[in-house]
Chains A and B, each alone.
Chain A
Amino acid sequence: MKFTHLTITFTVLVFLVYASLIISLFYFFDARHFLQALLSKRTLFAVKLSIFAATLATFLSLFLAIPAAYALSRYRFFCSTFIDTVLELPMIISPVALGALLLIFLNTPVGLSLQTKGVQIAFTVSGVVLAQFVSTLGVATRLLKAAMDEIPTIYEDAAKTLGASPLKAFITVTLPLSKRGIMSAAILTWAKALGEFGATVTVAGSMAMKTETLPIAIFMRLASADIEGAAVLVLILISAGLGILYGARALTKRAMYM
């Protein structure tokens, strides 16, 4: 067997691992039950909450991540390498541990005063958003930094010599040029937030019709041995996730200017 064929065989094997898992869902597929579960109040609530929380968490992450990614991409400053490493924290520690970190923080005097003076976080929708925000912020910053690294600084230099201040050069040149990267980062961040479970369940708990996102709903259906119901929710999550990822890939592949 040629080396090329061998590597392609491995690719197919990798695909089959996931494909067989997805196909197995259809073993429990029953059209009537599917529609019933899909249109149930609890499922619709979980879908709505997941979309709302993931969208809000994505916006919050991007709001902080875009300028932070620009600074990390363009400047070398005190602790920049350390900060860059810390961004990987949500990727290297267990999401439950990240959720635990958040809960511990909320029980410190600072966290408690934030909660008494501001928004209640533990076991609320705010908690869901915060958990997803913390889980995605590092990834979003990393993805955006990679997108901005690809934009040569000469465009900003040219803009400056034409009279644009650094802020104006960023808004009129760097942002439009990294539009594809930003959109792709936003979509991936959203998909990650949508599928977030560990940190969310630790901070916001698993309260039906209150903090029940899609992954939490799947967990709760399984806990009550409702495999058909879990399969429906998994299908929804997979369809949304794969659709979004496919869209992101198509978007990053399409050449716009170059």
Chain B
Amino acid sequence: MPKIELSQISKGILKNVSLSVEDREIIALVGPNGSGKTTLLNVIAGLVKYQGSVYFDRKNMDEVPAHRRGVGYLLQELALFPHLTVRENIEYGLKVQGYGKAVIESRVRELIGAFNIDGLSEKYPKDLSGGEKQRVAIARALAPFQKILLLDEPTSSLDPQTSKYLRIELKNILKRMGVTTIFVTHDLLGAEEFADRIAILLEGSIEQVSTPEELFFNPKTERISEFVGTPNVLSCDECRVLSPGLVEVRSKSMKIVLPYEGSPIKRMAISPHDIYVSNTNPPGPMLNRFRARIRDIIPLRSLVRVRLEAHGNIFLAELPSDTFREMNLYPGQEVYMIIKFRKIRLAE
């Protein structure tokens, strides 16, 4: 089965990168722009020369050319062949690999059904919307029965709603087809929803590979903590179910309401950029709104971190520098603090 192992890969910015991806696992490769994510996918696909070794199911692939590696690759630009229709694009891989007419017919039908692109078969890529193009490109990448799939920012060009919907749909399809997937993104939230594990790639080195929860609650290095957003971690002292799907959690004397899926809650994590600070009481629902006092102010490059104390808990909030300047905040000041309801992460 296609377990992927990368050993000491060096190429461009990549420095001795090693990574192991289990069979049928979905792993997200997360990092800022220019950290080497796409280069690493190109190495795995065999599109560039590199130092180090790539193994698929313990078989060394270093001398195997791209067209014999059996890796489906969704390039960031999608690269749908503009001179072929949607159907012809999906058929392409099967045809060049010499599959028979009956196999091609049934595989294309299966993928067109799975990705819900029935009405598009005879259209050309220029006539498709962004979301449709993404679906067709993924269907094409999977068509020749690829057991490894590389996705380079597959939902980057879509609006958040479509992006989320496609991620959920794609995850189900990949799990059903048993495809080992490496998924590149710079969107940590998207990675959390999609992947079994997350690998953080910073300046060409993999700094941590762990489950989304572990990564958020236990970042291994200061750099990861900075990238992830140094979360505010609160203990859960008491839980009270308010209604189906809604729970009130007490941490010290603070009561926070959050969505509830039924699992026991031990800790909560809130990213500093998910805390809204205001020096006046803003309009809107009173949910998760607290009075807080500014303990200190830490100016960074493009943003300012504000340490707040509320109901016996210490929070870090992040504000863009220009917003901070407009608000004229100072240590000791009393402010309002709002925790974004849907942005609270939980640990069991």
Using a CB–CB cutoff of 8 Å, the interface residues on chain A facing chain B are 152, 154-155, 157-166, 168-169, 172-173, 176-177, 179, 256-258
Picked from B73, B83, B124, the residue with its CB within 8 Å of the CB of A161 is B73
B268 to chain A, nearest CB (A): 42
B93 on the interface (CB 8 Å rule)?
A: yes
Complex Cα spacing A157 to B73, Å = 9
Known: A152-B79, A155-B81, A177-B82. 9 other contacts (CB 8 A): A157-B66, A158-B75, A159-B96, A161-B66, A161-B69, A162-B96, A168-B96, A172-B92, A177-B83
In the complex the two chains form, is B93's CB within 8 Å of A162's CB?
yes
Complex Cα spacing A89 to B114, Å = 57
Contact partners of A158 in chain B: CB under 8 A: 73, 75, 79, 81
In the complex the two chains form, is A154's CB within 8 Å of B77's CB?
yes
Q: How large is the interface on B (under 10, 10 to 19, 20 to 34, 35 or more residues)?
A: 20 to 34
Contact partners of B97 in chain A: CB under 8 A: 162-163
B44 to chain A, nearest CB (A): 10
B31 on the interface (CB 8 Å rule)?
A: no
A160 (CB) vs chain B CBs: closest residue: B66
B49 on the interface (CB 8 Å rule)?
A: no
In the complex the two chains form, is A163's CB within 8 Å of B81's CB?
no
B140 on the interface (CB 8 Å rule)?
A: yes
Picked from B67, B126, B140, the residue with its CB within 8 Å of the CB of A164 is B67
| Residues in B41-98 with C-beta less than 8 Å from chain A | 45-47, 65-73, 75, 77, 79, 81-83, 92-93, 96-97
Complex Cα spacing A258 to B127, Å = 9
Picked from A154, A157, A162, the residue with its CB within 8 Å of the CB of B144 is A162
A223 to chain B, nearest CB (A): 51
Contact partners of A160 in chain B: CB under 8 A: 46-47, 65-67
Q: Which 6 A-B pairs have the closest CB atoms?
A: A162-B93, A257-B82, A158-B79, A161-B73, A160-B66, A163-B97
Complex Cα spacing A172 to B65, Å = 18
Given contacts A161-B45, A162-B92, contact A257 B124 (CB under 8 A): yes
A161 to chain B, nearest CB (A): 4
| Residues in B166-186 with C-beta less than 8 Å from chain A | none
Contact partners of B77 in chain A: CB under 8 A: 152, 154
| Residues in B293-307 with C-beta less than 8 Å from chain A | none
In the complex the two chains form, is B71's CB within 8 Å of A161's CB?
yes
B141 on the interface (CB 8 Å rule)?
A: yes
Sampled A-B contacts (12; CB under 8 Å)? A152-B79, A154-B77, A158-B73, A158-B81, A160-B67, A161-B67, A162-B93, A162-B140, A163-B70, A164-B93, A165-B65, A179-B83
Picked from A165, A173, A256, the residue with its CB within 8 Å of the CB of B81 is A173
Complex Cα spacing A153 to B69, Å = 19
B130 to chain A, nearest CB (A): 16
A96 to chain B, nearest CB (A): 43
| Residues in B140-199 with C-beta less than 8 Å from chain A | 140-141, 143-144
Residue from A160, A164, A179, A257 whose CB has the most chain B CB atoms within 10 Å? A160
Given contacts A160-B67, A165-B67, contact A176 B96 (CB under 8 A): no
A157 to chain B, nearest CB (A): 5
In the complex the two chains form, is B82's CB within 8 Å of A258's CB?
yes
Contact partners of A152 in chain B: CB under 8 A: 77, 79
- Chain B 82-120, CB-CB to A under 8 Å as 1, else 0, gives 110000000011001100000000000000000000000
Contact partners of B68 in chain A: CB under 8 A: 163
Complex Cα spacing A205 to B296, Å = 93
Contact partners of A164 in chain B: CB under 8 A: 67, 92-93, 96
A188 to chain B, nearest CB (A): 22
Complex Cα spacing A168 to B77, Å = 21
In the complex the two chains form, is A157's CB within 8 Å of B92's CB?
no
Contact partners of B71 in chain A: CB under 8 A: 161
A217 to chain B, nearest CB (A): 42
B95 (CB) vs chain A CBs: closest residue: A172
Picked from B70, B72, B75, the residue with its CB within 8 Å of the CB of A154 is B75
Given contacts A160-B47, A162-B140, A258-B126, contact A154 B83 (CB under 8 A): no
Complex Cα spacing A142 to B60, Å = 41
Given contacts A152-B77, A155-B79, A177-B83, contact A161 B126 (CB under 8 A): no
Complex Cα spacing A179 to B82, Å = 12
Contact partners of A257 in chain B: CB under 8 A: 82-83, 124-126
B67 (CB) vs chain A CBs: closest residue: A160
Picked from B46, B69, B92, B124, the residue with its CB within 8 Å of the CB of A159 is B92
Complex Cα spacing A172 to B96, Å = 9
Contact partners of B140 in chain A: CB under 8 A: 162
A151 (CB) vs chain B CBs: closest residue: B82
B84 to chain A, nearest CB (A): 8
B98 (CB) vs chain A CBs: closest residue: A163
B240 to chain A, nearest CB (A): 52
A151 to chain B, nearest CB (A): 10
Contact partners of B45 in chain A: CB under 8 A: 157, 161
